[in-house]
Amino acid sequence: MQHVREWPIRLYFFEEDGETQARVVLTASGGRLEVVGEALCEPGDFDVPEIGDEVAAGRALIALGGKLLGSGEADVADLRGTPVHIDP
């Protein structure tokens, strides 16, 4: 029988003075993970909030992936009793 899970991910954006912050919150059976990604508008660039959202969200999601891989490494290491490395 196929086992299906759902992990809700919420993405929040905060913008101020050419800086965008994306906060990603993942809720899973094991708890909650929260990470932040940022994007800054360079001096002289046009301030386009949608671009800041894309960059900040992308960075936050990459950070979330890193946290999940790190957690998986720690769990496998606990089971094996030796350090492990999981490639992204």
CATH number at residue 18: 3.30.160.240
Within a domain: 2: no
Within a domain: 88: no
Taking only the tens place, the pLDDT of each residue in 3-47 is 888 899 999 999 998 899 999 999 987 789 999 999 998 888 888
Within a domain: 1: no
Within a domain: 69: yes
DSSP character string of 6-68: ---EEEEEEEETTEEEEEEEEEETTEEEEEEEEEEPPTTS---HHHHHHHHHHHHHHHHHHHH
At 87, phi and psi to the nearest 5?
A: -70, 145
Within a domain: 26: yes
Q: What pLDDT is recorded for position 88?
A: 87
For the chain, what is the domain count? 1
